[in-house]
Structure 1
């Protein structure tokens, strides 16, 4: 806290923006991490499913291969003869089998079922489309799954060709021919493909057409295009196979991510609102603290704020000199009573601003209450501060009321620590003694404390205008006697009672601030002539008497004796101080 102001930095209101920014970054990082983890999890599951259903497809293909193996075993056991081929083949038929064939010497001779498959009876070894692969199969004694092909009679198939070798009488192996199964695709994989689809996967099954090429061709696939799929590779029937799998919805769990984003946004907004609330509460706390330490009208410290700063200063500066000052406005109550509290507030505000401008920045300046101000000048002696204090106390001061400038003055007392006070906390007490010494000497000045100033002298200042007016045994009022600007300035309690008014504001409203409204219209000319005669006589301090009927608020009149004295005032010009005595009262008590 510097001087008398409590400053507040608005940069802390950027904190909600930082919370929003950091929260958004954290939410992005969490979302990204969850997305990556979820993607890894989905890929792991997809890889497991690719292996599972890849093995299932291998099992499907092995079912077809087993048909050729069974035929091979039959040929071996019967020395290359197959009796009742149609009956045997019929028993081995399945939904996914297009036909079962045998090709002695590489020439297809038997096909089941024969109907619709007549075109399949060809010389495999010398066929321009199949010959190379068939010869490779025979030369290497390896089963080949060739294809896929599109048949002339319609449909896509894979051809499983198993070369069969028998032994002659000498036990020497010789090529007998081939057992074959023509498999319908995608029928053979239907069960595995349906299971993949039901589990929410898209797939693509590819293979090399034959062992003689590395080029893959699609055997079967789902309808949608695959993006960055996982794959399971295997070798079967002399060819390389690849099953590619990906989730139908892709590698992102959009539902989970949307939930995380919505929850994250809700949390971020909650944190932002909470941060704003905390800042608002903190600002309110600081506001109330400022209100508890500062004077709302002048912006200076109040006595609590002054004491707090003084304590802070004392903690580290107990050995340093300082000067305590106490000052107030001369005749401030009179300014308030005559010109109103609004003008009085302007005087206080003007004085507080001049204090801030006149004294060093590190000074502790406060409004002690009412029109009294207190100051601590740090790190200086009374002798060093005296020129500055004297200049401030003697400076010309004025306020404006209804376009007219009026001068006012201040009285100021000051004391030094440690020269006058053993403790810094007592320094204002000694400054207060010096201030009242100024008052005793006629106000408008500044005095440094001296030990010969005594508190007993203050009893002379113990009476204020309110003390006198409230306890004076008689009614009186004060008014400015200017022809162009007649104005009642004050009335005491007994005057209010005499006119039937409840308070001074009621009295001013009743009289409209003018003495003429207190006089019976028939008596007004006589009274005014007496007043103006007294004014024009130029006899300052001259007393005069006039008798007239005084207006009462209830509409009646009382005959009174007006005993007035005219005085020339520095502030108001010609002023009448008037005692009013009820004639009925005089008659009752002094009839003789």
Structure 2
């Protein structure tokens, strides 16, 4: 994975881990704070609920004191009950010997007059209260008048004439739920808390039953425990929205994730910019076609290498492709580029990794070999020059050749620029001596600006005084390579592409069908007899399908790239006949 992608990703992942840690710590602190606050509320309001229930129980204590003071009698029960009655009290009862005889208010409560000690639902717990001298609560249960209630039964004991204690009965109050502790639960609701009030089902049981609770399930609530009589009560509390602060956590996640994303993007932009800068710097120094240094890059690095170790020996070689213009003219620039790329690839294979390889431009290349002398580099450069070099064209391989000159620092030159001029002078000398060779610089070679050597094929062919073509000298494969403008004009072809298309690049297809075998046999007979000066007469096929009477004069030439080829000039037979008949008639 690229650095510009990997680094921002690592930053993002580490950042998200940090966000996770911050969220975890924040959530833990928030939960702890909420639990502390909730515990404080549970304690405060649990104690208030206990007091509110105890206030209801005190009614039974008041009646108990009256019974004790009146020796088991209560006169004016209704009047007394009315005075101590409240909205949260459903009824006040007396149960001498465990049998309910008096109820206030009486209306609607007639069914409450029961024998508590022998009642199937109330007997066991009532007997326990009697036998253990303890106040008991029972419920909640559904009231016939509607709603729910809790029965508080307070056992009363008196002394007889002999001073012996005996069980008188119960003073009873029925508390309305949740009216008895409505102030506390309303306050908790206002503070957005859920709650649940529970009590043990009996003094001897550890099982809790719910007295009253808010809507919804409580998750991991805090609690406050208290005791009334011998029964345990539990008041549980938790925030309505849970222990976590979802809004705060969302804000933290959003805020820090945004920062991390921005930071990651900025790092990616910076790395991308840095990578692009390095790439552009590299592109400024590299040749895009051959992927070796261009002239600017080569000159800069060569200067640095020599300056870094000026006492070392260096050899610079300059070389180019012989007749490269011919390759471009015949095969096109695409195949010329292939030849250049193949040459650069052979450089990479032929020279060690410490060699500096460059392309000066066009078909000219250069090599700097550090820590080399003439003797060290001679064999390697000669082998490279003679190494077969080819490019492919339509399934066939075609060879090409190079000329190379080289010079040594500091033997021949005192600086890089002078060293390059000396190598160029040696290359010029190779060109003057027939090309396809390798030569070291020596004193006396011209080191000035190299002159143009020879002439380009197109310059020559387009100005020949006649129509001109080149084709392969092969009996089986007479491939057309080139035709100048005058030939195309004479034969009616608009350009060389149309010529190649209509003739299928075969010279044979320029000859009238009925003359092909005879003309080809005549051409090769002349060649085999060593006679290259005879003319051949035949009918040349024009672009429009008509024929033109022509004389051709050809010569076989050995070419380094294509082997034996024919160079052929054409003359219009009718035009020659007219012109020369006029001259002879004079």
Same fold (TM over 0.5): yes
Q: How does 1:510-529 map to 2 (within 5 A)?
A: 510-519=502-511, 527-528=519-520
Q: Which residue of 2 aligns with 1:43?
A: 35
The match for 1:584 is 575
Residue 352 of structure 2 aligns with which residue? Answer: 360
What secondary structure sits across from 1:130 in the alignment? helix
The C-alpha deviation readout for 1:272-300, integer Å capped at 9, x for no partner, is 89988988888777777666654454443
Residues 60, 189 of structure 1: 8 Å contact kept: yes
- Residues 69, 162 of structure 1: 8 Å contact kept: no
Unaligned runs of 5+ in 1: 1-8, 135-143, 166-176
1:87-486 pair list within 5 angstroms:
87-97=79-89, 99-100=91-92, 112=104, 116-117=112-113, 119=115, 129-130=128-129, 134=133, 146-148=136-138, 157=150, 159=152, 182-184=173-175, 186-189=177-180, 191=182, 192-193=184-185, 196=188, 199-206=192-199, 220-222=211-213, 226-233=218-225, 242-247=234-239, 250-252=242-244, 293-307=285-299, 309-310=301-302, 313=305, 316-317=308-309, 320-338=312-330, 344-397=336-389, 407-424=399-416, 427-455=419-447, 458-459=450-451, 461-486=453-478
- Relative distance call for 1:456 and 1:252 in structure 2 (3 A) is closer
Q: 1:506 aligns with which of 488, 498, 504?
A: 498
- Number of the residue aligned with 1:553: 543
Contact 1:518 1:550 in 2 (8 A): yes
CA contact (8 A) 1:208 1:240 kept: no
Change beyond 3 A, Cα 1:517–1:457: farther
Q: For the structure 1 residues 447 and 108, does the alpha-carbon distance in structure 2 shift closer, same or farther, using more than 3 Å as the test?
A: same
Greater mean alpha carbon deviation, residues 437-446 or residues 366-375? 366-375
In structure 1, C-alpha distance between the alignment counterparts of 2:280 and 2:489, rounded to whole Å? 44
Once the two structures are superposed, residues 427-454 of structure 1 have per-residue CA deviations (whole angstroms, 9 ceiling, x without a partner) of 4343222212111122222222334221
Change in 2 beyond 3 A, CA 1:190/1:283: same
**Alpha-carbon distance, 1:355 to partner:** 1.2
> TM-score of the superposition, structure 1-length normalised?
0.73
Q: Deviations over 1:132-168 (max 9, x none)?
A: 764xxxxxxxxx86434789x9986454769999xxx
Moved more, 288-297 or 57-66: 288-297
Which range is displaced more, 392-401 or 70-79? 70-79
For residues 150 and 374 of structure 1, do their structure 2 counterparts lie closer, same or farther at Cα, with a shift above 3 Å needed? closer
Note the C-alpha offset of 1:247: 4.0
Contact preservation (8 Å) 1:310, 1:364: yes
Unaligned 5+ residue runs, structure 2?
119-125, 159-167
Query: What is the rounded CA distance, in whole Å, between the counterparts of 1:573 and 1:313 in structure 2?
Result: 43
Cα distance, 1:128–1:489 mapped onto 2, change above 3 Å: closer
Distance 1:190 1:558 in 2: 126
SS in 2 for 1:486: coil
Distance 1:485 1:208 in 2: 115
Distance 1:565 1:225 in 2: 108
Counterparts of 1:289 and 1:457 in 2: how far apart (Å)? 30
Q: CA separation of 1:267/1:364 partners in 2, compared to 1, >3 Å: closer, same or farther?
A: same
Pick closer, same or farther for the CA change 1:317–1:129 going to 2, 3 Å: same
Change (3 A) 1:340 1:574: same
When normalised by structure 2's length, the TM-score is: 0.73
CA-to-aligned-CA distance 1:55-74 (integer Å, 9 cap, x gap): 44145235325646777998
Report deviation, 1:197. Answer: 6.1
Per-residue deviation, 1:495? 2.7
CA pair 510-74 structure 1, distance change in 2 beyond 3 A:
same
Q: What CA distance in whole angstroms lies between the structure 2 residues aligned with 1:120 and 1:398?
A: 120
CA offset at residue 459 of structure 1?
3.3
Give the RMSD, CA atoms, in angstroms.
Answer: 5.2
Query: Given the superposition, is the C-alpha separation of residues 281 and 379 from structure 1 closer, same or farther in structure 2, using an over 3 Å criterion?
Result: same
Give 1:395 shift: 3.0
- CA-CA distance at 1:361 after TM superposition: 0.8
